[in-house]
Amino acid sequence: MITSDDKKLLEKKGITEETIEQQIQRFQTGFPFLRIECAATQGNGIKVLSKKDFTQCLDRWRDFQNSGGSILKFVPASGAASRMFKNLFAFISDNKPAPETDFEKQFFAQIDNFAFVESLNAACNSLYGMTIHQLIDAGRYVDVVKALLLPEGLNYGAMPKALLKFHKAVAKATRTPLEEHLEEGAQYAANNRRNVNIHFTVSPEHRAAFKKLIEKQAPKLEKVWGVKFHVTMSEQLEKTDTIAVNLDNTLYRDENGQLLFRPAGHGALIENLNEIDAQVVFIKNIDNVVPSRLRAETVRYKKAIGGYLLMLQQRIAGYLKTLEQGSPSPKHLNSMLQFLETALCTRNEATAQMDEQQLAEYLFKKFNRPIRVCGMVKNEGEPGGGPYLAYNADGSCSPQILEAAQIDSSNQHDMEIMQGGTHFNPVDLVCYLHDYKGNRFNLKDYVDPETGLISNKSTGGVEIKALELPGLWNGSMSDWNTAFVEVPAATFNPVKTVNDLLRKQHQ
């Protein structure tokens, strides 16, 4: 099954034959659906901060910053923007003489409102000797889109979102998501020395472009905000790539007989996150940014959930020190259990039958884990993946972020729970990565390997199956202490398609 050439490829990527065998086995068995108790809602899994809570959280965050606490902002930014332009790629492929769909009509009708319009106009002049509107008047709509997406033009179809012009700024300036994340970090993640640590995950082919833009723009933003940026980058490790198989679960080989490996989704980034040496780490997607004039609410809530995290961590650290000293009183054990069940919403019916020693050991194991606070937004659209209370292998039930694919669509009870979900996950996390003694956790110890995904893809016109590792904020953090906090919809402004940039939040 594995040839000598295969072995050379595996060695180069750092992947063992045993890993390949395990992945093939996983294709054959699939992943189990997760058993859910209920959707997390206000008062049952989702914390709603009162005005008093909010003030306390902001104060706690400010104290941590002033004390010189270790803070870092982690931004997954390696993905290409190709899906953002899916509709426009189809427009080129169909070679349409004029826009037909509502999406296409909106794109061309409001083309002047995009931040990249001046660059696109220059590309059109360079390629065709005509402006955007001259091309449109001549019915050459496809040429305009080619100038935007293809390598001979702006090449936006192959670039990462981080480097695209998202927003217009003052004096005809523009801002990329990378710049917006730098500025956002300066507003809530600076320490007492005004140092701002930001880490971007990037693809190898775009690292140089990231570096060039950072070197150009970071000094300007440092002067505006009175900070010093410390920007680092990492790439998704080749050893986390997963093998592709045919629909019958046999190894897929291309026309040259070579195996095909695919990036294993954002879950592979747990390896990158595990290398971060910081106490507190904010995690946010690259495309969820707004211009500075609309950012105040985001900054306030980032500080608030950071402060809430620190208050949880302080309580947990105190409990762990007490448990480590040994023989806490029954009253104290009960207080700890109540905190675990209410503040962290982690429950286990088996605790009722535990003696004091067993309960102390159970509590120590549950508390001595990485901590995350996840912002949750009210669901005003279609229900699907989001915050749930789900069962774990040890029989406990705890807060989990699930994708719709992890829930059994043939189970009426589970589907009713999903349909009744009130919130969704905007990927708005703040994490505490050190234990109560100040040592870094090995984050790979807290991944649930049973929570990956299998999806159908195509390559060269052939249908194949692909394997995704447990998602970074799904199964890769399954065994963390987790708290969900409601955040306003104003903090969630993703750009999934190019026309999302026409929404008022991005203008």
The predicted-structure confidence for 208-220, as pLDDT tens digits, reads as follows: 999 999 999 999 9
Q: Read out DSSP for 379-403?
A: --S---SEEEEEE-TTS-EEEEEE-
- Measured CA to CA in angstroms, residue 480 lies from 128, 367, 475 at distances of 55, 9, 10
Can you list the pairs that 84-87 forms with residues at least 24 positions away whose Cβ atoms lie under 8 Å? 84/161, 84/287, 84/495, 84/496, 84/497, 84/498, 85/148, 85/149, 85/156, 85/157, 85/497, 85/498, 86/497, 87/497, 87/498, 87/499
Give the β-pairing of 242-243 and 428-432. unpaired
Radius of gyration, alpha carbons of the chain: 24
Output the pLDDT for position 65: 96
**What is the identity of the amino acid at 137?**
D
Residue 384: per-residue pLDDT: 53
The residues, ordered by sequence, that sit 6+ positions from 462 with a Cβ below 8 Å of its Cβ are 246, 252
The count of other CB atoms within 10 Å of the CB of residue 1 is 9
Report d(CA 150, CA 254) in Å as an integer: 26
Q: Is the dihedral of CA 408, 288, 222, 120 positive or negative?
A: positive
Closest CA to 242 of 266, 263, 269: 263
**What is the per-residue pLDDT for 265?**
86
Residue 171's alpha-carbon distances to 45, 53, 168, 174, 175, in angstroms, are 46, 40, 9, 9, 12
Given this model, what pLDDT does residue 263 score? 87
Helix/strand/coil for 77: coil
Instruction: Single out the residue of 465, 457, 404 nearest to residue 23, CA to CA.
Output: 465
CATH topology of domain 1-78+177-491: Spore Coat Polysaccharide Biosynthesis Protein SpsA; Chain A (3.90.550)
pLDDT for 385: 65
Place of tokens 């059109």: 124
- Amino acid at position 406, single letter: Q
CA 454, distance to chain mean position in Å, is 19
* Domain edges within the chain: 1-78+177-491, 91-149
What pairs with residue 399 in β-bridges?
A: 389
Reading the block at residue 151, the tokens are 């390598």
Identify the residue whose tokens are 């409102």.
Answer: 113
CA-nearest of 276, 367, 348 to 70 is 276
Rounded Cα distance, 27 and 455, in Å = 10
Distance CA 414, CA 38 (A): 8
Number of other CB atoms surrounding residue 329 within 10 Å: 10
Strand partners, 39: 388
User: In the beta sheet, which residues pair with residue 391?
Assistant: 397
pLDDT for 293: 86
What parts of the chain have a pLDDT lower than 70?
A: 381-385
- Say what the pLDDT of residue 243 is: 93
pLDDT, tens digit, 9 for 90 and up, residues 314-329: 999 999 999 999 879 9
Token pair in block for residue 144: 């305009």
Distance CA 480, CA 478 (A): 6
- CA angle at residue 132 from 126 to 138, to 5 degrees? 105
pLDDT tens sequence across 346-397 = 999 999 999 999 999 999 999 999 999 999 999 876 555 699 999 999 999 9
Predicted pLDDT at 81: 87
What phi and psi values does residue 154 have, to the nearest 5 degrees?
A: -80, -15
Q: What is the largest CA-CA distance in the chain?
A: 83
Question: Which residue is associated with the tokens 């195996």?
Answer: 259
Residue 257 is predicted with a pLDDT of 87
